Structure 1
Amino acid sequence: MQHSLQTPRERLVVVGNGMAGIRTLEDLLAKAPGRYDITVFGAEPHPNYNRIMLSPVLAGEKTFDQIVLNGLDWYEANGITLLTGDRVESIDRVQRTVTAMSGRAVAYDKLLIATGSNPFVIPVPGATLPGVVGFRDLADVDAMLEAAARGGRAVVIGGGLLGLEAANGLKVKGMDVTVVHLMDTLMERQLDRSAGTLLQRELERRGIAVLTGADTAEIVGDGRVTGVRLKDGQVLPADLVVMAVGIRPNLALGKAAGLACGRGIQVDDAMVTSDPAILAVGECVEHRGQTYGLVAPLFEMARVAADRLAGGTEAAYTGSVTSTKLKVTGVDVFSAGDFSGGKDCEDITFRDAARGVYKRVVLKGNRILGAVLYGDTRDGGWYFQMLKDGQDVAAIRDTLVFGQGYQGGGAASPGAALAALPDSAEICGCNGVCKGTIVTAITEKGLTSLDEVRAHTKASASCGSCTGQVEQLLALTLGDGYQAQTGPKPMCKCTDRTHDEARRAIAMLELKSIPDVMQALEWTTPDGCASCRPALNYYLMCAWPGEYKDDSRSRFVNERMHANIQKDGTYSVVPRMWGGLTTSAELRAIADVVDKFAIPTVKVTGGQRIDLFGVKKEDLPAVWADLNAAGMVSGHAYAKGLRTVKTCVGSEWCRFGTQDSTALGVKLERLTWGSWTPHKVKLAVSGCPRNCAEATIKDLGVVCVDSGYELHVGGNGGMHVRACDLLVKVDTEEEVLEYTGAFMQLYREEARYLERTAPWLERVGLAYLKQRLVDDPKGRTSLNARFLFSQSFSQDDPWAERASGATDRHEFSLLAEVG
């Protein structure tokens, strides 16, 4: 009998779940899949995300999910053990093990340190006061968003790249913001004085106060920050202070392990430390006396480290020339290289004051030494490539400042300019993707759309500023075979069908299951994905109430568990309070649950309910059982459905109230709750035009007046505030209920999954809603009847009798899966 012995795989441990460490793994898996048994330690409780996109998250332009680079499924698919929220505290180089704060010890054959950097905190009194934050990770963004939600004043210390992005985000979120900068010019490391002045004027035009040449003496506060005192004696009031004065390599782990360290953990050209078994990449390293805080050098280091880990012997990192782009919407700033000028240097400058455009190219020996662009940064990549290549520009010197399109005697098409770039030219700075990588992916993998290029290369998947160039590369590579996408986009990468096409097919072909839809519409994947499955599940449930059985596997985890997952892995539970009303019995039940399950935080929400934070996953079924026993059902705070109906006390108590708004709010909530909708829905009823319940920024709001009720629709009080449009004025509560049911059903039947009522209304138009709901009484009655029919299934459940009130038919069958 013959036996085959399989050689055990080498053990690779990565300390750091950030962009540098995981990019190294991506490159390694492409070069040598299966070579290592890989374990990744991450100090944060998240999968790998794009740290340079935190600014758009702060400004509300991106969600966290949109900046995740590698979801948990990626780690699982590649056999990687991911240990989040567990910081590595020590390295035993003799035994070759690392030990984390949890006490977990993991052995390694090769170790990769990618611990990044720490924000520099200026050593002034008060720097550790509550209310003083850095701007380095998602926890910092969460702290800033929480502060911004309360309003007030923010002081940002530091007028560099991060400081200005933080200032812009906080201003967008409604805070009064002042930037305090020690130097005389903003972003002095990246911009010359002229560009810095233009940038300052633009920020001030946006309402951000800027103080340059200002030195911080003290952060003031008694128990919490209240202001910033400058050395000239001026005190700036502050409810929040953001420290953004720079970063320092996080070398503590390497230093404690006895590795050679200077400003960072020292590495050679192979990214190997003073210990041959340990490599290091990213912001934590020092290479040839230099440290780097921008993404492009990190990815270049990752490429070399991956090659060496894969067994290569020739790849070498020799340093980087860097470029910078400010991520503030509407402000185009780019710089690269050394623009300080000096002996033997010459400047070529272009100014267009009316357009707010400034360009400066610094030459030395007919080669680009540095470039600064403000207001028009389209040629930044071209200048940067020539700078890195050391190209002689003498032949194009006369037209150099006008950009790549003007070379050769006149303006050329953008496509021709892009075609002239070498394959090594970087297209996507956020993810370090060059032209050659994109073109190769298009040709070898048969890619034909922007979404496919994003999925395979990550180009254009972050800030989106390179989207135009990626689309041009598609056109150049495919020629007549490329059709730029117009109109609605496909649901996801699994199909070329749009949301509207899928809904029409479900109705016309009487498709009544997700596999039926995928088969009939020729899905390219067997089981779909996290984008299309929840959408199809909703469309089927809406089309066939009473026939289609909800597929719990196609729901987001928060909907399955009837609880909101929090960043520490616990959950929050929100029982429903009809119209914001509660009783002593309900309050006692909540108090008992809090005590019984040691729930750490209880908060009154903006929707007039009580939120229980910190519930353990294993306790969820028992928590809901106890609340149900007291007659309380799910508040669906997680759901694509009705969240709340906010009310004021109305005519029952308020001397200004014109109608009983509280009672009407309860009726509306009992009418609409439990119904699944394309996105979350919030209602409100204000008892008079003073509008204390904020009815005019809800998906549907009722404002009571002396002569009846005004119905307002399509509002949104979230990231992008939208005031409602007045739909109709009616005389009776019965009419309010009928219009509400008809509006909800029209939204359910015609909006696309994950489309709020505000963008839906803007897409179809108010006139269309009035034609369907106001001008067509029979149609309105029919819509309302269909809504009530659907609700008869959504709220029909044997738990209803035991809970003294209706409940979602899926509530406890889904919760059973949790336990």
Structure 2
Amino acid sequence: MEKQKLVLIGNGMAGVRAVEEILKLSPDQFDITVFGSEPYPNYDRIQLSKVLQGDTEISDITLNSWEWYEENNILLYPGETVTAVDTEKQTVTTDKDRQVPYDKLIMATGSVPFMLPLPGADKEGVTAFRDIKDCEQMIESAEQYKKAVVIGGGLLGLEAARGLLNLGMEVDVVHIADFLMERQLDRTAGKMLQKELEKQGMNFLLEKQSQEIIGEDRVEGLRFKDGEEVEADLVVMAVGIRPNAALASQSGIPVNRGIIVNDHLETEILNVYAVGECAEHREMVYGLVAPLYQQGQEMAKKICGIESEGYQGSVLSTQLKVSGVDVFSTGKINEDEDTKTVKVFDDWRGIYQKVLVDEGKITGAVLFGDTKEGNQLLSLINKGAAIEEYLDQDKSDAAGIDFIASMGSEEIVCGCNGVTKGTIVNAIGEQGLTTVDQVKGCTSASRSCGGCKPLVADLLEHTLGDEYDHNQKESICACTSLSRDEVVEEIKSKGLTHIREVMNVLEWKTEEGCSKCKPALNYYLGMINPSEYKDEKESRFVNERLHANIQNDGTYSVVPRMYGGVTNSEDLRKIADVADKYEVKMIKVTGGQRLDLLGVQKEDLPRIWSELDMPSGSAYAKGLRTVKTCVGADFCRFGTQDSIGLGVQMEKKFEGLNTPHKVKMSVSACPRNCAEGSVKDVGVVGLDGEFEIYVGGNGGTHMRQAELLSKVKTEEEVIDATAAFLQYYREDANYLERTSAWVERVGLDHIQSVLSNKKTFIELIQRMNEALAVVQQQDPWKEAIESETLLRDLYKNVKVAAGSN
């Protein structure tokens, strides 16, 4: 069946999230085209303040990379704006005279900043704070000028002010109200926030109405209606946003404040939908991420032909960290004469909590300083709970876990990124996540404002139980107060040789350890004494013990190794025979140029591996997973080196190596870099007569471009340099720290200085070869099958299956 044409106008968070939902529900139904006015892939606008503050690069806030569009066959036109929609012919036209037909059209044009119509607003040095271009203008101004004025004491204005302070500017915040963030906070919380921000260096001019921006060509100051003036080299307007509905209005699509939509996000025009800040649903326009993501989910169902009750509106909640201060509000924030309140005010600790009650039911809340009850209150408001249900709740540390247990899987944990409890629980189970940072990296929960970190921590504790690491930053896990470096040093100095001995001698808090420290200790012991230490299989994560990745339905995926992505007809026949015999649900080509057999039952794993008679591709391993290659000089007219041959050598050389985290490599035969070495842990690029070696890349959630480690002449030098780099990574990195994070933490210059010492370089290679000599003598799958732990698991699984029959 011919695919329908789906066009998305707007490459922002709401629109692209809606496309993600469509791809989940019906990946083959549409040919998708996306137009975005900015010359970037989809990025997290919430984190622009971090870019401004200098904490984050633009690449770090990218939500969907260029490769994501390509992998999903999405045609993206960045830096191109749709200027007209013909709803009769069902076409869109752009500012580059491109005309594209559609069967379904999604308008996700977002919002535009409201600019006060002040005299002088067109002067140089006056800007909004809405996109990357605005950030760049503010950063450039800070390099030349010293005095900034931010008009607007709401969230956006305060974030802009914090960023400008970080850039070294003096900052006045001008606000028309007499306290800050009056739309999210009450007067008490707003005044407390002001005191905290004044300590950080912000100066506030409240109850001031701007009249004119003064100066010649460039802004020199701001004049108020009361006649007072302040100097300014930069004026940032952060006074609000309005729906960007102009294109819809011009195209005959009904508009009020925003584009009018029904519960399924349909406009009154057939086959035209609207989602996000541009859409008006039941006379409401939403500017927070969670409602917009909920809209996208319901719209996706409608577009894909799936019945649903549609979007029913949202109870708004705001959980934020404003310049390091935690604030939360939801529902009603200001009481009237019929409203009762429950209040806590602790001026010494800077804590304020107010719960509003109407007719015995909770209708709103404002929290300042301590916001851990925010999600609980939102949940209670959503279900119309009586105040007694809140007052009778356990207020001990265990209360958060009890609340987590009562949450439905569809409830939002991270409002900034629309991440549900179910998404996080599934990720913890499938990916073996044990820390808030890992959950953040995998799901984006807490990635933006960070306000939901306590809830994510509670969710980890609820899911992992005793295995949860309560002391993530200071120690390797909650079983000990010792850091990674301290543990490694103790193992070396005391000659410790096995996990139980380490726990006993170093006085572990728990006799058996946990799922975090046992794999870590197993790794550190093997790394320190590879020839003497016997790997304790039972201490490894379940995926590593079973040599397969558990999936969300409880089945497993099996990935045979294909060196350098190369296979043959005999191996393909084996895979096909096994897939038929064991009714494998899906065979998928992976990004690492291998075949993944999905939907395998746990009890079938031993027989499948036996019948395949192929080495495992280690898709689960904390070690080398793949070496991706291009076709190379033998086939490609651009190739200058034998990329396949070198890739196979490297994969066979480092196969079975244990490392702190997964390692992915690639070899490209020319600078076109078709094997994507710029986002690999080690990426080799062939040139005429030499090779470039790049390290520390990451193509995942925390995308990072690899850096040039060195240039060498021969394949042997490539392998030696890679061996020395990986061995230093093995010895110096924390367990579960990717090379990307490690390189960033210690610095490429430091790594290069270590490897440039010839004696150290040779010793690292020798220790690498010693480790490889040990692991490559083993038959890991056979050992796993013979393992008592695995046999017990398999036997238990068979008994359950027999009982169910």
Q: TM-score range by the shorter chain?
A: 0.5 to 0.7
- 1:550 pairs with 2:712: no
- CA shift in 2, pair 1:517/1:467, >3 Å: farther
Task: Provide the secondary structure at the position in 2 that maps to 1:326.
Answer: strand
Distance 1:76 1:191 in 2: 43
Say which of 273, 282, 295 aligns to 2:276: 282
Say which of 405, 409, 429 aligns to 1:423: 409
- CA shift in 2, pair 1:69/1:50, >3 Å: same
Kindly state the Cα deviation for residue 530 of structure 1 after the two structures are TM-superposed.
6.9
2:557 is aligned to none
State the AA in 2 paired with 1:423. Answer: S
Q: How does 1:209-358 map to 2 (within 5 A)?
A: 209-358=203-352
Task: Provide the secondary structure at the position in 2 that maps to 1:437.
Answer: helix
Kindly state the Cα deviation for residue 754 of structure 1 after the two structures are TM-superposed.
5.9
Distance 2:454 2:303 in 1: 35
State the AA in 1 paired with 2:262. Answer: D
2:682 is aligned to 536
Kindly state the Cα deviation for residue 219 of structure 1 after the two structures are TM-superposed.
0.8
Task: Provide the secondary structure at the position in 2 that maps to 1:197.
Answer: helix
Say which of 57, 69, 73 aligns to 1:75: 69
State the AA in 1 paired with 2:462. Answer: L
Q: How does 1:100-249 map to 2 (within 5 A)?
A: 100-249=94-243
- 1:366 pairs with 2:360: yes
Distance 1:241 1:756 in 2: 39
- CA shift in 2, pair 1:762/1:40, >3 Å: closer
Distance 2:159 2:298 in 1: 31
- 1:61 pairs with 2:61: no
Moved more, 518-527 or 78-87: 518-527
- CA shift in 2, pair 1:146/1:232, >3 Å: same
Contact kept, 8 Å, 1:358 with 1:374, in 2: the verdict is yes
Contact kept, 8 Å, 1:308 with 1:315, in 2: the verdict is no
State the AA in 1 paired with 2:682. Answer: L
For each residue in 1:639-696, what CA deviation from the matched residue of structure 2 results, as whole angstroms up to 9, or x when unmatched?
6579xxxxxxxxxxxxxxxxxxxxxxxxxxxxxxxx9xx9xxxxxxxxxxxxxxxxxx
Task: Provide the secondary structure at the position in 2 that maps to 1:332.
Answer: strand
Contact kept, 8 Å, 1:127 with 1:219, in 2: the verdict is yes
Give the paired residue count.
569
State the AA in 1 paired with 2:271. Answer: A
Give unmatched runs, 5+ long, in structure 2: 477-483, 486-515, 524-591, 593-617, 628-645, 667-674, 700-704, 711-717, 722-727, 764-805
Give unmatched runs, 5+ long, in structure 1: 1-6, 503-509, 542-546, 558-564, 566-637, 643-674, 679-745, 774-778, 787-819
- CA shift in 2, pair 1:555/1:496, >3 Å: closer
Task: Provide the secondary structure at the position in 2 that maps to 1:34.
Answer: coil
- CA shift in 2, pair 1:320/1:497, >3 Å: same
Say which of 469, 472, 481 aligns to 2:455: 469
Moved more, 528-537 or 237-246: 528-537
Kindly state the Cα deviation for residue 511 of structure 1 after the two structures are TM-superposed.
12
- CA shift in 2, pair 1:281/1:175, >3 Å: same
Q: How does 1:752-771 map to 2 (within 5 A)?
A: 760=746
Q: How does 1:619-634 map to 2 (within 5 A)?
A: none
Kindly state the Cα deviation for residue 424 of structure 1 after the two structures are TM-superposed.
3.7
- 1:388 pairs with 2:530: no
Q: How does 1:677-696 map to 2 (within 5 A)?
A: none
1:434 is aligned to 420
Distance 1:368 1:316 in 2: 26
State the AA in 2 paired with 1:243. Answer: M
Contact kept, 8 Å, 1:512 with 1:548, in 2: the verdict is no
- CA shift in 2, pair 1:513/1:380, >3 Å: farther
Task: Provide the secondary structure at the position in 1 that maps to 2:325.
Answer: coil
2:90 is aligned to 96
TM-score (norm 1): 0.62
Kindly state the Cα deviation for residue 276 of structure 1 after the two structures are TM-superposed.
1.7
Distance 1:385 1:784 in 2: 57
Say which of 7, 24, 29 aligns to 1:35: 29
Distance 1:524 1:329 in 2: 35
Task: Provide the secondary structure at the position in 2 that maps to 1:550.
Answer: strand
State the AA in 2 paired with 1:477. Answer: T
- CA shift in 2, pair 1:473/1:757, >3 Å: closer
State the AA in 2 paired with 1:432. Answer: G
Kindly state the Cα deviation for residue 550 of structure 1 after the two structures are TM-superposed.
2.7
State the AA in 2 paired with 1:422. Answer: G
1:700 is aligned to none
State the AA in 2 paired with 1:466. Answer: C
Task: Provide the secondary structure at the position in 2 that maps to 1:49.
Answer: coil
- CA shift in 2, pair 1:32/1:525, >3 Å: farther
Distance 1:249 1:454 in 2: 30
Task: Provide the secondary structure at the position in 2 that maps to 1:376.
Answer: coil
TM-score (norm 2): 0.63
Task: Provide the secondary structure at the position in 2 that maps to 1:171.
Answer: helix
State the AA in 1 paired with 2:692. Answer: D
Task: Provide the secondary structure at the position in 2 that maps to 1:184.
Answer: coil
Kindly state the Cα deviation for residue 446 of structure 1 after the two structures are TM-superposed.
5.7
Kindly state the Cα deviation for residue 233 of structure 1 after the two structures are TM-superposed.
1.4
